[in-house]
């Protein structure tokens, strides 16, 4: 599904983009990459739900994506490298959220409670634990729970993870809009 060729195409696309930090439109390629990772995860979860794919196969696909995201990539430009590193952190959160959703071990706690716990873990310096808690929030979104309006602290070390949450939420909302429009057309 999402293999080396897919990943390498994104790397080449990012390398070929002209990045200008003063022009937000030039940064769109990073958002599109993250969105594509969310769509990949969403499609895997949907395929398992609709019995088009076995759970074990979906786990393997997620593992492959995770391994690709762990790689150190040199894009030949320090700014691109920094932006891609941040985007990969968001994408890792998305993949972890999909793994949790796939396992069925989705938290019953509210989004607000989970956010509170994640921020507390961050203050304690337990970033990996905070990551897991935010991934639980993402799993809830993948399982069609609505992310309420929330304020994520701008100065947080967890910002890339919150970006991943936001990306999951956006893709799910857009898919619901698309599904609604196609039902109206039918």
**65/129 Cα distance (integer angstroms):** 21
Give the helix ranges, DSSP H, for 28-126.
28-49, 55-70, 78-103, 111-123
Q: What is the pLDDT of residue 128?
A: 96
Tokens matching residue 68 = 């690709």
> Taking 90 as the threshold, does the pLDDT of residue 154 lie above it?
no
Percent of the chain scoring above 70 in pLDDT = 95
DSSP 144: T
Q: What is the pLDDT of residue 54?
A: 95
**3/144 Cα distance (integer angstroms):** 27
Residue 182's CB is within 10 A of a number of other CB atoms, namely 9
Number of domains in the chain: 1
Domain that holds residue 168: 4-185
User: Can you tell me the mean pLDDT for 49-73?
Assistant: 94
Q: What is the pLDDT of residue 175?
A: 82
To which residue do tokens 């602290």 refer?
A: 153
pTM: predicted TM-score of the whole model, two decimal places: 0.91
156: buried, middle or exposed (CB in 10 Å: 19+, 13-18, 0-12)?
middle
Mean pLDDT estimate for the chain: 91
> Taking 70 as the threshold, does the pLDDT of residue 9 lie above it?
yes
Q: What is the pLDDT of residue 165?
A: 94
Percent of the chain scoring above 90 in pLDDT = 78
Contact 97, 164 (CB under 8 A): yes
Q: What is the pLDDT of residue 1?
A: 60
**78-135 pLDDT per residue, tens:** 999 999 999 999 999 999 999 999 999 999 999 999 999 999 999 999 999 999 999 9
User: Can you tell me the mean pLDDT for 1-21?
Assistant: 88
> Taking 90 as the threshold, does the pLDDT of residue 174 lie above it?
no
Q: What is the pLDDT of residue 155?
A: 85
**142/94 Cα distance (integer angstroms):** 9
DSSP 24: G
């Amino acid at each position: 599904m999402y293999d080396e060729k897919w990943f390498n195409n994104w790397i080449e696309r990012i390398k070929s983009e002209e990045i200008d930090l003063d022009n937000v439109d030039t940064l769109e390629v990073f958002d599109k990459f993250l969105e594509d990772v969310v769509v990949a995860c969403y499609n895997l979860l949907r395929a398992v739900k609709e019995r088009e794919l076995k759970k074990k196969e979906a786990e393997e696909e997620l593992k492959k994506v995770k391994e690709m995201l762990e790689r150190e990539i040199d894009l030949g430009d320090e700014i691109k490298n920094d932006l891609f590193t941040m985007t990969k952190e968001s994408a890792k959160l998305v993949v972890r959220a999909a793994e949790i959703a796939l396992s069925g071990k989705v938290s019953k706690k509210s989004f607000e409670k989970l956010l509170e716990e994640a921020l507390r873990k961050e203050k304690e310096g337990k970033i990996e634990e905070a990551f897991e808690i935010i991934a639980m929030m993402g799993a809830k979104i993948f399982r069609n729970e609505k992310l309420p309006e929330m304020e994520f602290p701008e100065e947080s070390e967890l910002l890339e993870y919150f970006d991943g949450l936001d990306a999951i939420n956006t893709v799910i909302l857009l898919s619901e809009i698309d599904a609604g429009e196609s039902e109206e057309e039918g």
